[in-house]
Structure 1
């Protein structure tokens, strides 16, 4: 007999989803039964529901197929919320399937009731994700899954929530599984808007491209490279979009915004810059250098987004269209864009005086590794094709400058809310989505305190992810901004031996105090090809003008 649970599994397998991340519970009983017997979908039991949510997110980013996360209602559902909000803001397709109490117990104060008068899961997720449904029949469940996979009509991709009562999961379902559901593609730019965009871009000679996180995929990367080379256009990216344009290319300005490079800042805040074509850029605080008015000059930025409804900025001309289609259409406007090629070549020579990476005078090795040295060592030691998941913290800021991306799909981060511990669990999902790649998570010890036990998940399923921990005994970015020494002391947890913790959990544990020791530990972990953690002795001994903080003076010496 085919059940609704088996129909859901078959429908998700048709989307290419091959893993389900979960914390099991009684209210998921029928789903667990079909997953336990599924030959082509692997159930991954995580240490915590939020770890499962982050892992499903990482899986979706690397695989390009929907991530799938399962939990029970009430405490399980509420534990998923941070992951769901991050996935919505980062436009990731993740399905959160929550098992609820049987229908005849709903609304009667049953144990772990996710409805009224219980935890109100549907209401919570209704404001957290674009699509949230509670099914009470097989037909409602089928319609809800179709809607979840299709996504919001005309809107960005995003996560979905589906609540299924336990008894409904076991109900007979004779329908054929869903076939591959393809979300609606963004539209092209109509002739009138294309003409207006060309006129704006052709008004001056100093034109640069600024590429953001909603532009992904190898096809767009090829279109971008061809367009930039054809018209000699400098290219900056936001940090989450690093890799969409090769950073070793002569036209690369590096990263603009949080963790940005001196060259990108110089080019994009120069009053002589005429126009910035912003492709898929979220003009949020971090991408815009805290809304720097030298960047947000009225009339300078033309922004193309693949869907409507983005937060508008004064003086920014917004266009809604497929970014690849816009590049291909602009490429046909030969004369207006070719007029400034010679001027842009002279501009690029001038910009070449600005470094892609700031000069760094690292502290003595006895004090520990500077985050920039740590990131540069990773970049040099890891083989081409590796994937780096970057968590919140000081190292994420360093990645903007000192991790030079070679190709798309190399760097992953959750930039909008930066939830601590995201990279640790997301790297497990990413490794399962790309088993042949070498996957590394870079995080701080604060993130380990939150979700370090997900190393047990990696060990349980022998996922050969490598965690590199910047162990500076601090919540580094909070410490760096602390208003007083007394406040700074609140950001200093005890320094723990994370390598020993990893070994207790069955992973390989390594320790490093210098870049040479870090490189040696990385090579050993790569050869071992099993779960590993490298505990790197970090530092808080920063100069006031340390380039890690963008040349500002609010860094402080470590409190005694």
Structure 2
């Protein structure tokens, strides 16, 4: 076997079933090896789209995903997608082509910088590991190392650069081609005991569940602990739905575009013990590091990355470890101390009182234009409960965070680690391949769709039935409304001429439906779309003047960046 075949064999051996990418001359050996394998290839329209698709696949499946590109611009086109995966700790292997080593420094087509090591250095800033294979006999060892690092500890993307001549050479020693992964499943027993005592002694405790609980698949452990001690739970925007949002102990999302219930219960009442699990307390979850988030007595912080513990708030008890493992141990320790004694269900009653006090009966507005608020409500009612939602960065994300009700864990995804527009246009294509029969819906603004909308043709090419719901207001809505709220003039225009996305969808081979009237999105329409099973674009003309729930973000900008 040659080096490229060794790499593909390793991927195949460890369960990789598809690769997302764009072909090119520098990766023809990889192409040939893939042709001989059982791995299917999804050819994207742009390398950034390929990286986002790999991210979406890994995000939903929980297993590693692979994307590839040719040399030079092919590799640089993937950078934003890989940076997004890095920001959200998603395990993706990026394979990039390179000119032959004999041509380094000569100025070959698509060669990148002096001695062709520049692309490796760039990827080192946005991956857990980036290297170039300069000896064919190291191919097996290096792909194994890349996979191991992607899946070990705090997960994340990795990168290997593949010179064309090295990939063609026969491998004479592949004895190092093996891969073992080690997860951080340990925990500090004494810290767990301290945390258990603090939670048992708390009068008004609360749990903030972050993205780490999603990555750890800790929904059952979180639910068990919350119900065991009757502790209300808020989530970060990325962890929305890890606890059903109709559960009596659910406070909803804390932070950007979050639930008024979470804000009232945590920021305006005397929380004495706060258990934070798998959150870095970043700007989005803390609304610009609001000091009111600090509990009266003790902050317990659990994270797989000890660098995150105490980074933004003083921590009384820090526990480095996997979210599911630590939560499981907390449940065990609390059970050992309590010995069966029951906890009164008083806190869930208080949550219900707060929810009732803040309840605003929402009437379905029948204005001439679709209200984004009503659009989200209509989608919630019309789609099955097991639908997977991808919300793109911008107002579409804000509306979704505030008004979507997620009742099943692992059903809501936003690429907030790097906050790249266009993520939710391409990522759902990879996600749908991992999701099986579950519907996959992308909630995107027209500005985001215009960035990566050509990937609809990718879904058409492989008959991947994603549904894109475009909030069409002919503008970059968050910029427009943010400026209005902050009193900033339109120097760099946020608006643009309207685009007919139905015609665009049809030109790309998808089904396109124009929605102009409130109520057109209903169960009958969505059942018809799901039954058809084809890529579908809903071009929804929304009210451009309805103000999205982004006020906390504007306040943060004014406070932090002036």
Fold shared by both chains (TM-score > 0.5): yes
Judged with a 3 Å threshold, the aligned counterparts in structure 2 of structure 1 residues 211 and 348 are, in CA distance, closer, same or farther, namely same
SS of residue matched to 2:228: helix
**Larger CA deviation: 269-278 vs 115-124:** 115-124
**Larger CA deviation: 15-24 vs 311-320:** 311-320
The answer to whether structure 1 residue 536 and structure 2 residue 534 are counterparts is no
SS of residue matched to 1:128: coil
| 1:78 aligned residue (76, 88, 100) | 76
Q: CA deviation at 1:394?
A: 0.8
Tell me the residue number matched to 2:328: 328
Mapping of 1:388-427 within 5 angstroms? 388-427=389-428
In structure 1, stretches of 5+ residues that fail to align are: 555-560
| 1:101 aligned residue (99, 102, 122) | 99
Tell me the residue number matched to 1:239: 237
Judged with a 3 Å threshold, the aligned counterparts in structure 2 of structure 1 residues 445 and 182 are, in CA distance, closer, same or farther, namely farther
**Alpha carbons 2:93, 2:157 under 8 Å: kept:** yes
**Larger CA deviation: 103-112 vs 443-452:** 103-112
SS of residue matched to 1:314: coil
Judged with a 3 Å threshold, the aligned counterparts in structure 2 of structure 1 residues 221 and 156 are, in CA distance, closer, same or farther, namely same
**Alpha carbons 1:74, 1:118 under 8 Å: kept:** no
Cα distance in 1 for residues equivalent to 2:517 and 2:393: 22
Q: Aligned pairs, how many?
A: 549
| 1:301 aligned residue (289, 299, 302) | 299
The answer to whether structure 1 residue 350 and structure 2 residue 353 are counterparts is yes
Q: CA deviation at 1:218?
A: 8.5
The answer to whether structure 1 residue 136 and structure 2 residue 134 are counterparts is yes
Judged with a 3 Å threshold, the aligned counterparts in structure 2 of structure 1 residues 252 and 488 are, in CA distance, closer, same or farther, namely farther
Tell me the residue number matched to 1:8: 7
**Alpha carbons 2:204, 2:270 under 8 Å: kept:** yes
> What RMSD over aligned residues (CA atoms) do the two structures have, in Å?
2.7
Cα distance in 1 for residues equivalent to 2:493 and 2:184: 47
Q: CA deviation at 1:498?
A: 0.4
| 1:280 aligned residue (278, 281, 287) | 278
Cα distance in 2 for residues equivalent to 1:102 and 1:548: 50
**Alpha carbons 1:155, 1:308 under 8 Å: kept:** no
Judged with a 3 Å threshold, the aligned counterparts in structure 2 of structure 1 residues 67 and 552 are, in CA distance, closer, same or farther, namely closer
SS of residue matched to 2:284: coil
The answer to whether structure 1 residue 526 and structure 2 residue 525 are counterparts is no
Cα distance in 2 for residues equivalent to 1:415 and 1:434: 21
**Alpha carbons 1:74, 1:113 under 8 Å: kept:** yes
Tell me the residue number matched to 1:499: 502
| 1:130-189 Cα distance to aligned partner (Å, 9 max, x none) | 100111012332222112111179741000010010111122236679888453222332
**Alpha carbons 1:298, 1:316 under 8 Å: kept:** no
Question: Could you tell me the TM-score, scaled by structure 1's length?
Answer: 0.91
Judged with a 3 Å threshold, the aligned counterparts in structure 2 of structure 1 residues 210 and 354 are, in CA distance, closer, same or farther, namely farther
Q: CA deviation at 1:360?
A: 4.8
Question: Could you tell me the TM-score, scaled by structure 2's length?
Answer: 0.91
In structure 2, stretches of 5+ residues that fail to align are: 557-562
Judged with a 3 Å threshold, the aligned counterparts in structure 2 of structure 1 residues 159 and 552 are, in CA distance, closer, same or farther, namely closer
Q: CA deviation at 1:376?
A: 1.5
Tell me the residue number matched to 2:457: 456
Tell me the residue number matched to 2:444: 443
**Alpha carbons 1:15, 1:180 under 8 Å: kept:** no
